[in-house]
Amino acid sequence: MLYLTLKIIHIMSGAVLFGTGAGIAFFMLRAHMSRDVATIAAVGKIVVLADFVFTASAVLVQPVSGLGLIYLQGYALTEPWLLAAYALYVLIGVCWLPVVWMQMKMARLAQTAADAGEALPAAYHRLFRGWFILGWPAFAGVIGIYWLMVAKPAF
């Protein structure tokens, strides 16, 4: 029963991690494409909140439930497919942490511009480009981890 509970928790938190990331990317991109400063500011606030409530929670649950599953299934922590998953998890984190900071900064810049009735500053656009670029390796990393968890390849 413990194994099934941990497995469900691990799968669900992985789905939350992937789904929230994809949803945040979609809504941020759509808001940005609208070119409406007030929309960008409002969506930016929601995205930051979603990242802290959902993504951060899943980021904490994933390693705990994953380690429990590894132990219960009798795998060594050094299985090659697990080492690859750890590396991808670190890559995702290295991308995600600056992205969260960028989202917070972009939301503040957009809100300031909206309050002043001004266009978005150049700093917002620079941050958006960085946010967009860092999203791709993080997204690919999550897909890679899913593949590793399902395939458990023998390298």
Q: What is the pLDDT of residues 58-110, one digit of tens each?
A: 999 999 999 999 999 999 999 999 999 999 999 999 999 999 999 999 999 99
Residue ranges making up the domain that contains 69: 2-151
Write down the pTM of the prediction. Answer: 0.91
* Structural domains counted in the chain: 1
Q: Where are the beta strands (DSSP E) in 24-146?
A: none
Give residues with Cβ within 8 angstroms of 150, minimum separation 6: none
